Amino acid sequence: GGGRGCVTLRGAQIRDLLDSKHNVLFDCDGVIWNGEAAVTGAPEVVSLLKQRGKRVFFVTNNCTRPRENYVQKFSRLGFTDIAEEEIFSSAYCSAAYLRDVARLQGKVFVIGCSGVMKELQDAGVPVLEEDEAADREPGTSIYNCPLDPDVKAVLVGYDENFTFMKLAKASCYLMNSECLFLATDPDPWHPLRGGRITPGSGSLTAALETASSRKATVIGKPSRFMYECISSQFDLDPDRSLMVGDRLETDILFGSNCGLSTVLTLTGVSTLEEAHRYRDSDEPGQKDCVPDYVVESVADFLEALEE
């Protein structure tokens, strides 16, 4: 037990930390906003960081919107001058992976939403167009629904229209060991208003992993690929980069996997108690989920950034 990490930062320490970094990577939900409400002070923190010459990037596992929609959301929530190029979502990075890493020759079968579809389209990755109305016709079932031999990858993301039919088709495609199996992100669930939750991409991926006896390649946090996506476009020195997140198993592990300093904010999913549990655990690997630093909120950066 014991060990390092989870250092609660105050005033001058925040200033020193920010002074030592050139790049700040922010998770979105739970860090700079919660649903449709900006975290108090977050827009000011982002713009002050930029004014101080820092480069700011947004790294989100939320695959439901294309990049251009995020630009609108930022501006709606009071963040000024956020460019598409600064936003790295699991949908955008999944499309980049299929185009640049897998160099997919064939179509993708998508379990997902319009954000994923739009990013694949923008990247020029061919998507299997599904005729969902035909699938619902009497007589159509898992026994006779059409399967396209050109499908060479299955991509699973958050899908509020997830069905048994989609799961069945994806399982059949994955019988072919040459067919790639990708997941936008491993998130188990997300908080909604009123104490509710919604199942995340990870829960849909788990269903398909069981059905196919295969493991998906994860694109989003905590996989290093999102960092590689950023560093392929911007020259990033990990020693001079900071990852700020609210979920230990994705954001903080991502930071650890990429060799970044990590800050946990307590405005989202994970608690200080959970961070201490990882810190005090003797099990291997758990230490990678321990944040270097903890703040109540990104608003704690404000004081350090103001003159």
Binding site for ligand PLP (CB under 6 A): 27-30, 60-62, 64, 158, 187, 190, 200
Q: Which does 159 bind (CB under 5 to 8 A by kind): ligand PLP, Ca ion, none?
A: none
Q: Which does 61 bind (CB under 5 to 8 A by kind): Ca ion, ligand PLP, none?
A: ligand PLP
Q: Which does 107 bind (CB under 5 to 8 A by kind): Ca ion, ligand PLP, none?
A: none
- Closest CB 192 distance from ligand PLP, rounded Å: 8
Q: Which does 97 bind (CB under 5 to 8 A by kind): Ca ion, ligand PLP, none?
A: none
Is 29 catalytic? The answer is yes
**By beta-carbon distance, which residue lies closest to Ca ion?**
30
- Closest CB 249 distance from ligand PLP, rounded Å: 12
Q: Which of 30, 43 has the CB closer to Ca ion?
A: 30
> Which of 239, 242, 252 is closest to 278 using CA atoms?
252
Site of tokens 């990590």: 262
Single out the catalytic residue among 16, 19, 29, 280.
29
Q: How many Cα neighbours within 13 Å face the side chain of 192?
A: 6
Q: Which does 249 bind (CB under 5 to 8 A by kind): Ca ion, ligand PLP, none?
A: none
CA distance 264 to 257: 15
Q: Which of 126, 188 has the CB closer to Ca ion?
A: 188
- Closest CB 42 distance from ligand PLP, rounded Å: 13
- Closest CB 190 distance from ligand PLP, rounded Å: 4
CA angle (266, 267, 270) in 5-degree steps: 50
For residue 294, give every residue at least 6 positions away whose Cβ sits within 8 Å of its Cβ, in sequence order, or none: 6, 7, 8, 9, 263, 264, 265, 266, 272, 275
Residue 189's CB is within 10 A of a number of other CB atoms, namely: 13
Single out the catalytic residue among 16, 19, 27, 300.
27
CA distance 49 to 55: 8
Q: Which of 35, 146 has the CB closer to Ca ion?
A: 35
Q: How many Cα neighbours within 13 Å face the side chain of 119?
A: 31
- Closest CB 304 distance from ligand PLP, rounded Å: 23
Q: 256 with 262: CB under 8 angstroms?
A: yes
For residue 246, give every residue at least 6 positions away whose Cβ sits within 8 Å of its Cβ, in sequence order, or none: 27, 29, 30, 31, 264, 265, 266, 267, 268, 269, 270
- Closest CB 151 distance from ligand PLP, rounded Å: 24
Is 237 catalytic? The answer is no
CA angle (13, 17, 20) in 5-degree steps: 140
Q: Which of 64, 212 has the CB closer to ligand PLP?
A: 64
Q: Which of 106, 205 has the CB closer to ligand PLP?
A: 205
Single-letter residue type at 29: D
Q: Which does 187 bind (CB under 5 to 8 A by kind): ligand PLP, Ca ion, none?
A: ligand PLP
Q: Which of 116, 127 has the CB closer to ligand PLP?
A: 116
Per-residue tokens: 76: 């709606």
CA distance 303 to 134: 58
- Applying CB under 5 A, the residues found at the interface with Ca ion are 27, 29-30, 246
Q: Strand order in 107-111's β-sheet?
A: 107-111, 151-156, 180-183, 217-218
Active-site annotation, residues = 27, 29
